[in-house]
Chains A and B, each alone.
Chain A
């Protein structure tokens, strides 16, 4: 049972060559009046850790959701993990895309009344026989072992049997990371994963992300308001401003002036 996804494991991609995500002229509007994304062209390569930064409402979260087909693209084209689509990915495409992607939300989005182990097993819901991922009681043995292993990566094996809502905010976010990683995806997308945590927990979670992605050869794309996180844990920073890419450069060469420009308030 475990083979079909263990086979998908890729060794750490130290050759940052293959594009894993490419967007061309990506546009998104929720209604006719307001366009959130106004033509985004970005390329993310395998093994990269990319931070997407920008002020509230600039389109970061919308972009993340468009990349994996959670939201419909209004215009333009997305190629993610070998699947090219406009609008929404087709059913089979979407399934393949989701199977290779882990998603971590700002709020951990755990099912509160289920055990920690069950929540991690939910990460298997795009696998064949998905109904067995409803709970740890119905899951096949290899999935239970895989979930416990994922919990060991985030140091929470001792909490496997606890109810999710009995954990602290930082611990719950770590469970959601384990859930995202249990299938060992090729791409991990995290939408402000540290925003709801205190500074120390937030830093721990980001460090954990960076380490696990490096250990397992996973490409990481995350949004953040915290410039220290973007500079410390990303190889590259892509800044959005009013739905457009303001700059796209290595984190090491990003200056304070660049960052000031991202959050500069437009005179009214």
Chain B
């Protein structure tokens, strides 16, 4: 079958997008950065082969996992503490993220564009400092234990939720907001009357991700003394109790898997 062209003089568009010199240069620079990084810090095949026997020995010392009832009971209470750190930290963080996200939403928040910029900068600061660093700071200020872990999760959650809440609020439907403003509503009326009902599914989704993230974070915070099951893991490695360590790793895997399953189902319900 032959296809006719309405005007043979019209050229076909190029099959490949045309790159500007700047885009081309930046693409090449990014590619070079990846290649140099892999060359300098990625493991070589030789290193992988040499490390193989050590890995096999370690796995051998880790099996079978320790299923002693007394040890499992101790682990159980540590898991409960880990969950408490995650749930309390995420809940407080989500509640605090709501006003902070509102302040950071450009064109919607009550503090104007400068206030929104400063709020966003604050959220970015909380997010860019890794959670283990926050945990070290809080351990140094409030001491070893679960409280430091909870405070870490609060800060981590604000860094995560604050950004997504602000974006959701910025992207919320503008027409109902204009309608409530025309009726005589103030910024708070617009927030509660129009914005929150509109963005609620997005807020719930983000909050569920934050909870999932909090559970993952809370299991490692113990490595720096901030409570939870991570403390047991560190002790197991420090004392070369590899069978205990494998049990804890398996338990962490099951916790995270279970949490992902639960939050996935809840997210699907929200849609």
Measured CB to CB, the residues of A under 8 A from B are: 68, 70, 94-95, 98-99, 101-103, 105, 107, 109-114, 122-123, 125-126, 130-131, 133-135, 176, 179-180
Q: What separation, in Å, do the CA atoms of A111 and B195 have in the docked complex?
A: 8
A-B contact pairs, 23 of them (CB 8 A): A70-B181, A98-B182, A102-B183, A103-B183, A105-B179, A105-B182, A109-B175, A109-B179, A111-B193, A111-B198, A112-B176, A113-B198, A122-B193, A123-B183, A125-B185, A130-B184, A130-B186, A130-B189, A133-B189, A134-B192, A134-B193, A135-B192, A180-B183
- Which residue in chain B gives the minimum CB-CB distance to A94? B184
For the complex of A and B, the 4 pairs showing the least CB-CB separation, nearest first, are: A126-B184, A98-B184, A109-B179, A125-B185
Closest chain-A Cβ to B111's Cβ sits at a distance in Å of 18
Q: Which residues of A contact B181 (CB under 8 A)?
A: 70
Q: Which residues of A contact B180 (CB under 8 A)?
A: 122, 125
**Is there contact, CB below 8 Å, between A99 and B189?**
no
**Is there contact, CB below 8 Å, between A110 and B185?**
no
- In the complex, per-residue mask of B160-179: 1 if CB is within 8 Å of any chain A CB, else 0: 00000000000001011011
Given contacts A105-B175, A113-B200, contact A70 B189 (CB under 8 A): no
Q: What separation, in Å, do the CA atoms of A112 and B174 have in the docked complex?
A: 12
Measured CB to CB, the residues of B under 8 A from A are: 173, 175-176, 178-186, 188-189, 192-194, 197-198, 200
Closest chain-B Cβ to A232's Cβ sits at a distance in Å of 26
**Is there contact, CB below 8 Å, between A131 and B182?**
no
Q: Which residues of A contact B182 (CB under 8 A)?
A: 68, 70, 98, 101, 103, 105
User: Which among A94, A103, A125 has the greatest number of chain B C-beta atoms within 10 A?
Assistant: A125
Q: What separation, in Å, do the CA atoms of A111 and B176 have in the docked complex?
A: 6
Q: What separation, in Å, do the CA atoms of A111 and B197 have in the docked complex?
A: 7
Closest chain-B Cβ to A222's Cβ sits at a distance in Å of 14
User: Which among A68, A99, A105 has the greatest number of chain B C-beta atoms within 10 A?
Assistant: A105
Q: What separation, in Å, do the CA atoms of A116 and B166 have in the docked complex?
A: 27
Closest chain-A Cβ to B169's Cβ sits at a distance in Å of 14
Closest chain-B Cβ to A100's Cβ sits at a distance in Å of 9
Q: Which residues of A contact B194 (CB under 8 A)?
A: 111
Q: What separation, in Å, do the CA atoms of A179 and B185 have in the docked complex?
A: 13
Given contacts A123-B183, A176-B179, A179-B183, contact A112 B189 (CB under 8 A): no
**Is there contact, CB below 8 Å, between B185 and A126?**
yes
- Which residue in chain A gives the minimum CB-CB distance to B182? A103
**Is there contact, CB below 8 Å, between B198 and A125?**
no
Contact of A131 among B175, B184, B192 (CB under 8 A): B192
Q: What separation, in Å, do the CA atoms of A109 and B184 have in the docked complex?
A: 15
User: Which among A95, A112, A130 has the greatest number of chain B C-beta atoms within 10 A?
Assistant: A130
Closest chain-A Cβ to B52's Cβ sits at a distance in Å of 56
**Is there contact, CB below 8 Å, between B175 and A125?**
no
**Is there contact, CB below 8 Å, between A99 and B184?**
yes
Q: Which residues of B contact A105 (CB under 8 A)?
A: 175, 178-179, 182
**Is there contact, CB below 8 Å, between B183 and A126?**
yes
Q: Which residues of A contact B200 (CB under 8 A)?
A: 113
Q: What separation, in Å, do the CA atoms of A70 and B197 have in the docked complex?
A: 23
Given contacts A68-B182, A95-B184, contact A110 B193 (CB under 8 A): no
Q: Which residues of B contact A94 (CB under 8 A)?
A: 184
Closest chain-B Cβ to A180's Cβ sits at a distance in Å of 8
- Which residue in chain B gives the minimum CB-CB distance to A182? B183
- Which residue in chain A gives the minimum CB-CB distance to B189? A125
- Which residue in chain A gives the minimum CB-CB distance to B179? A109
Given contacts A125-B189, A131-B192, A134-B189, contact A110 B183 (CB under 8 A): no
Q: Which residues of B contact A109 (CB under 8 A)?
A: 175-176, 178-179
- Which residue in chain A gives the minimum CB-CB distance to B191? A134
Q: What separation, in Å, do the CA atoms of A105 and B198 have in the docked complex?
A: 19
Q: What separation, in Å, do the CA atoms of A130 and B189 have in the docked complex?
A: 7
- Which residue in chain A gives the minimum CB-CB distance to B173? A112
Q: Which residues of B contact A134 (CB under 8 A)?
A: 189, 192-193
Closest chain-A Cβ to B132's Cβ sits at a distance in Å of 39
Closest chain-B Cβ to A93's Cβ sits at a distance in Å of 12
- Which residue in chain A gives the minimum CB-CB distance to B199? A113
Q: Which residues of A contact B192 (CB under 8 A)?
A: 131, 134-135
Contacts A99-B184, A113-B198, A125-B180 given; 8 further ones with Cβ under 8 A? A101-B182, A103-B182, A105-B178, A105-B182, A112-B176, A122-B185, A123-B183, A125-B184
- Which residue in chain A gives the minimum CB-CB distance to B177? A109
Q: What separation, in Å, do the CA atoms of A110 and B173 have in the docked complex?
A: 10
Given contacts A99-B184, A113-B200, A176-B179, contact A133 B193 (CB under 8 A): yes
